[in-house]
Structure 1
Amino acid sequence: MILSLSIVLVLMLMKVNGDEPDSVVNGYKTDPGILEDASLDTWSLIRKYGYPCEIHRVYTEDGYILELHRIPHGRENGTKPGPRPVVFLQHGLLSSSAEWVLMMPGKGFAYILAEAGYDVWMGNARGNTYSKRHISINPTSSSFWKFSWHEIGYYDLPAMIDYVIKNTGVPKMQYVGFSQGTTAFWVMASTRPEYNEKISAMQALAPVAYVGNIRSPLIKAIAPLTNSLELIMKIIGANEFLPNGKINELAGQTFCLEESITQVLCTNLLFLICGYNGDQLNVTMLPIVLGHTPAGAATRQLIHYGQLYKSSKFVQFDHGLLTNKRKYGTFKPPPYDLSNIRTPVFLHYADNDWLSTPNDVDKLLREVKSAVGKYKVPLPKFNHLDFVFAIDAKKLIYDRVMKIMEQFV
C-alpha cells in the first residue's frame, strides 16, 4: 500500500501531456478501448459489450443505500422462455460489482454465468463506489464509516437477498462470494440463521474467516496496532481506506500500461498483497483493474481482519474492554457460531493465496458442518486475485464451480 501511495504522489508531480492522442499516455501506446473500460462504471461497461444491465437500489435496516447491478440474461438468450435460476455475486475487500465483469466477455464470471442461463445479481457493500449513500448521514461524516464487514454481513447481505427474492419471485438463490464476500456470508448465516433457507448453495472463492496463517504484509503490519484504534486510524485513515477516484484512474493509466517501464510497480504491488503469479496476470488489463479498484472501504474493515490475525479467532469487532462490555455484555468480542450455518458450502482455495491460506481453509472446513468439501485450484502459483483476474480463471476455477452449481438449479 505504501508503494501504491508512492505511485500516486509521483503522478501528482508529473505533468501529463494533454496534447497526446487518446491512444497514447505519457508516450506509451495502449488500446483506446482499454482506457475507456477503465473509466466506465459497471452498468456502462456491461452495456458496452452488448449485455442487458439493470440498476437497483436497496435500503438497509440501518439506513444505508446500496446499489445492485443485474444481468438478467446473456447476449443471445434473452428470448428463452421460463424463469432463470438466480445467482448472487458478492465482491471482495476494496472492490465492487465491477470485479465480476472487468475481464470482458468470456473471461468475467458474471458474463459466463449470464451466457449459461443464470439471472445474475451483483451486490455492492456499503461504503464502496456504488453504495456511498445513507438516508440521513453524509459520507463526509465519521459516523458514516463506523462499520466493519460485520455490518455488511448482518445488514447489507440480508437486505440485498430479500430484495432479489421479492423482485424475482424465487424462494432461493445461489450465492458466490469472493474473499470478503465469503466473510460477510459467514456473518449473515451464523448471526441470522434464517437466511440459510434462502440460499440453495454457497460457492466460496478464496474463503476468509480464520486468518491466523495469513501471509499478507498489509494485514500483518496492521495487527500489532489493533489495540489502539485511534493510533491505527491516524496511520491508515480515520474513516475511509483507499477510496477510488480520478487520481487512481490516472495512476493506473499512466504507470500500468503494457509498454511502461514503471509497470513493474503495479505488478509488484498486487503480488505483495496477494501472492505472486506472473503467468496468470494479464498486464494489458492493469489500467482497467486500477480504474475500478480500490473502490473504497471503511478503515474498520481492515482493522477487523487485523484483529482476527492477532487472535487467530473468528470473532466480532473488538472495540476495547469497556465498549465491548456495553455492546456485547462481555469484555471480549463474541465468536461467530459457525455451527448455525446450514447452507451447503463449497470451499475453493489455492496454495499460493496469501490471504486465504490452506491451513486456515482447513480450520474453516472443520467448523462449518454444512461444508461439502474443499477444492484446490490445480495450479501451484494460483493466488488470491487470480480468482477474479486470472487469464485462465474459467478453465481453472469457473468451469468446476458451474458444474457444482448445476446440481442446485
Structure 2
Amino acid sequence: MASSRVISVLSILLLCITIIQGRKTLYTSNDFSASSLNTDDGICKTMVETQGYTCEEHKVTTEDGYILSMQRLPASRSGEKANKPPVLIQHGNMFDSYDLFQDAVIWLFNSPDESLGFILADSGFDVWLVNGRGTKYSTMHTSLSPNDKAYWDWSWDELASYDLPASVQYVYNNTGQKMHYAGHSQGTLMAFAALSQGQLLNMLRSAALLSPIAHMNQISSKETKLGADLFLANDIYWLGIREFSPIEDVGAKFLDGICHTLNLNCANLMAFFTGPNCCINSSRIDFYLQHEPQPSSTKNLIHFSQMIRTGNIAKYDYDDQAQNVKHYGQRVPPTYDLTKIPNDFPLFFAYGGKDQLSDVQDVKILLNDLQDHDANKLVLEFNQDYAHADFILSVSAKQDVYDPMIAFFNNQ
C-alpha cells in the first residue's frame, strides 16, 4: 500500500513537471540552420582553446536530417600534430539527474591531465568529440526545429542507426584513416547495436566501452528501477510531450520530491542513480551543473525503461502490435543479437563494482554473449571501487582506465 502511494505521488510529480517542461519555450530562435551555430561560444572556444589546445568546429548531417556538432583536437597541447589514428569519442545519456544527460563537454570537464579528450590528444591521437542530437550544440536540423514534436521522435535506435554511422563516416572521410571508438554508457549501447548488425567495421580499428550498457535487468539502483516504472511515460508521450529536459530548477523540484517521498538523504543525488562514485572532485559539481544536464527525448527514456523492465536488447516497442508491424514488419520489436559482433573485432571493456547502471551481473550476461570472442581481442578492466560516473569524471581515471585504454589502442 505504501509503495503504491509512493509511485502514485511520484507519477503525479513527474507528470506535472514534464507538462511544465512541455509548455516552456526552451528555444527562442526559429533559425536552426547550419549557419546559426555561433562558434564564439562553442566548445572549442570555451573548453578547449582556453586550455592551450588547437580545436576545430565541425558539423555532420545525419541521413534523417539532424546536424551534429563535432570538435576536433588535431594536436597536443605542445602543438605537436597527431601521429596516431583518429579516436571518435561518444558521450552517454541515461537516467542520472546530473552527469548522464550529457554532451561532449563531459570529456573536457576536469584538468587536461584528468580529462579523456585532452589525454588522448597529448598521447598523439587525432581526437574527435561528437554531440548527440538535441543537446546544446546539436539542436540544428535540415527542416525541423526543437520546438517541433517531430524533432524529438527518436530513441537510441536512431542514434545507433543514424548519428553513429554519420559521425564515423565523417571522420573517415576527413582523415582517410580507420579510427578507434570510445564510448560511455549509452555510447556503448550505440556501438553494440551497430556492430551486431555488421555496420562500421570497415572504418573502425577497435572499440573501448566504458560502463557498458546492454542487458539492464539486473540494475541494482532502486531509484533507477522506480524511474523505469514511472517512465511508463507512454502516458506522457501520448499527451504530446516529446522532449525531456531536466533543467536545473525543474529537475531539482522533481528530485526533491523523490527524496522527500522516499525519506532519502539526497545530499549526493548522483550516488542514488549511478552508485557511490569514489573519485569525483566534489568541489567541481557546481561547475558540472553549469553545463549539464542536457535534453533528451521522452521516447528515449521510455526505450531505456523497456530494457530495464524486460532485460531485452531490442528496438523501441510501440506497445501496439499494429504500430510495431508498421515500423518493423512484425508484431514484436526485433532484437539486437550481440553474438553477431565479429569475434576478431578488438573490444576493451571497463566496468566497476559499485556501478548501479552498468551492473556487474548485467555485464556478466553481456560477456556470456561474447564468450566465443577471440581471447586476444577482448580486454577487460575491472575496478571494484568505481561507479558509473567515475569512468568519465574520476580524478584518478587516467591511471585506472585511460592508460590501459591507450595501451589497448596502441596494440591494435
Structure-2 separation of matches of 1:228 and 1:377: 34
Alignment of 1:144-183 (within 5 A): 144-170=151-177, 172-183=178-189
1:123 to 130, 135, 140: 130
In structure 2, C-alpha distance between the alignment counterparts of 1:392 and 1:348, rounded to whole Å: 14
Offset at 1:370? 4.0
**Residue in structure 2 matched with residue 56 of structure 1 by the alignment:** 58
The corresponding residue for 2:409 is: 405
Distance (Å, rounded) in 2 between the aligned partners of 1:290 and 1:69: 21
2:354 alignment counterpart: 352
CA contact (8 A) 1:52 1:75 kept: yes
Paired letter, 2:275: G
- Tell me by how many angstroms 1:248 deviates: 8.8
- 2:183 counterpart SS class: strand
1:236-260 alpha-carbon deviations (Å, 9 max, x no partner): x922222558x699x9xxxxxxxxx
C-alpha distance in structure 1 between counterparts of 2:348 and 2:229, whole Å: 32
| Alignment: residue pair count | 352
Q: What is the aligned counterpart of 1:132 among 139, 151, 154?
A: 139
Aligned to 1:315: 314
C-alpha contact (below 8 Å) 1:226/1:232 kept by paired residues: no
Following superposition, the deviation at residue 186 of structure 1 comes to 1.2
Aligned residues of 1:154 and 1:188 also touching (Cα < 8 A): yes
Identity of aligned residues (%): 33
Matched residues in 2 for 1:169 and 1:122: separation? 17
Q: Deviations over 1:29-51 (max 9, x none)?
A: xxxxxxxxxxx752221110101
How does 1:70-109 map onto structure 2 within 5 Å?
Answer: 70-79=72-81, 83-93=83-93, 94-109=101-116
Deviations 1:205-226 (A, max 9, x none): 0000110101234541243355
* 1:8-87 alignment runs, 5 A limit: 41-43=42-44, 44-79=46-81, 83-87=83-87
Pick closer, same or farther for the CA change 1:273–1:70 going to 2, 3 Å.
same
CA 1:282 to 1:405, structure 2 compared with 1: closer, same or farther past 3 Å? same
CA contact (8 A) 2:209 2:350 kept: yes
Q: What is the CA–CA distance in structure 1 between the aligned matches of 2:168 and 2:131, rounded to whole Å? A: 12
Q: CA distance change for structure 1 residues 84 and 308 in 2, over 3 Å: closer, same or farther?
A: same
Structure 2 spans left out of the alignment, 5+ residues: 1-9, 18-40, 94-100, 253-263
User: Is the contact made by 2:81 and 2:124 (CA closer than 8 Å) also made in structure 1?
Assistant: no
- 1:111-143 deviation per Cα after TM superposition (whole angstroms, max 9, x unaligned): 000000000001111111111111111111111
Q: TM-score, normalised by structure 1?
A: 0.80
Q: Deviations over 1:21-70 (max 9, x none)?
A: xxxxxxxxxxxxxxxxxxx7522211101011111001111111111111
The equivalent of 1:241 in structure 2 is 244
Give the Å deviation of 1:377.
Answer: 3.3
Q: 1:160 to 1:334 in 2, by over 3 A?
A: same
**CA separation of 1:114 and 1:102: change in aligned 2, threshold 3 A:** same
Q: Distance in 1 between matches of 2:225 and 2:291?
A: 25
- CA contact under 8 A between 1:351 and 1:376: conserved in structure 2? no
CA distance 1:407–1:272, change in 2 (3 Å) = same
Structure 1: any 5+ residue segments left out of the alignment?
A: 10-39, 252-263
| DSSP-derived class of the 1:348 partner | strand
CA distance in 2, matches of 1:125, 1:54: 17
Counterpart amino acid of 2:185? S
**Displacement, 1:374?**
5.4
Q: Please, which of 393, 398, 403 is the counterpart of residue 394 of structure 1?
A: 398
Query: 1:211·1:355 contact (CA, 8 Å) conserved in 2?
Result: yes
SS in 1 for 2:380: strand
Contact 2:231 2:301 in 1 (8 A): no
Q: Distance in 1 between matches of 2:219 and 2:225?
A: 8
Partner of residue 282, structure 2: 283
Change (3 A) 1:79 1:165: closer
Distance 2:275 2:186 in 1: 17
Q: Give the RMSD, CA atoms, in angstroms.
A: 2.7
TM-score (norm 2): 0.79
Q: Work out whether residues 73 and 117 of structure 1, in 8 Å CA contact, stay in contact via their aligned partners in 2.
A: yes
CA distance, structure 2, for counterparts of residue 78 and residue 273 of structure 1: 40
Report the Cα distance in structure 1 between the residues aligned to 2:211 and 2:270, rounded to whole angstroms: 16
Report matched runs for 1:169-318 at 5 Å.
169-170=176-177, 172-191=178-197, 193-225=198-230, 229-231=234-236, 238-243=241-246, 268-277=268-277, 279-318=278-317
Partners of 1:200 and 1:72 lie apart in 2 by 18
- Distance across 1 between alignment mates of 2:174 and 2:214: 31
State how far apart, in whole Å, the 2-side matches of 1:195 and 1:334 are.
Answer: 20
Cα distance change on mapping 1:270 and 1:69 into 2, 3 Å: same
Q: Distance in 2 between matches of 1:248 and 1:103?
A: 26
Following the alignment from structure 1 to structure 2, what is the Cα–Cα distance between the partners of residues 358 and 233?
A: 35
1: CA distance, partners of 2:102 / 2:136 = 8
Aligned residues of 2:346 and 2:378 also touching (Cα < 8 A): no
